[in-house]
Amino acid sequence: MEQEFYRGLAQRVRGMAEKADPFTRRRLLDLAKRYDSRGGQPSASGSTERPLPTPRTTPPVSSFSGPGEA
């Protein structure tokens, strides 16, 4: 079901790209490729998902190191 949704989005985006200026066309076609990859079709660019960041082992350093002024 979700695959059909993304395939449909890819087709609609490609339709819009046909009527767009060259800059917008390129961006829309890139978007359609991403939708295709989510829809189960292989993409030439490979995986579009980013890996999760590594968990922190220490808390972030606070910018306030001492007692505050009133």
> Is residue 31 domain-resident?
yes
Q: Is residue 9 assigned to a domain?
A: yes
- Burial 6-26, CB ≥16 within 10 A → b, else e: bbebbeebbeebeeeeeeeee
Tokens 């829809």 belong to residue? 39
18 within a domain of the structure (yes/no): yes
The encoded tokens of residue 1 equal: 């079901």
Specify if 14 maps to a domain. Answer: yes
Q: Which residue has the tokens 């985006």?
A: 13
In a domain, residue 63? The reply is: no
Total domain count for the chain? 1
Q: What is the pLDDT along the chain (70 residues), one digit of tens a residue?
A: 788 899 999 999 999 999 999 999 999 999 999 998 887 754 444 445 567 677 767 766 666 666 666 5
Q: Most distant CA pair in the chain: distance in Å?
A: 62
Per-residue pLDDT at 41: 53
The reported pLDDT for the residue numbered 30 is 94
Q: Which domain holds residue 33?
A: 2-38
What is the pLDDT, as a whole number, of residue 43? 45
Task: Say if 28 falls within a structural domain.
Answer: yes
Residue 52 lies in a domain: no
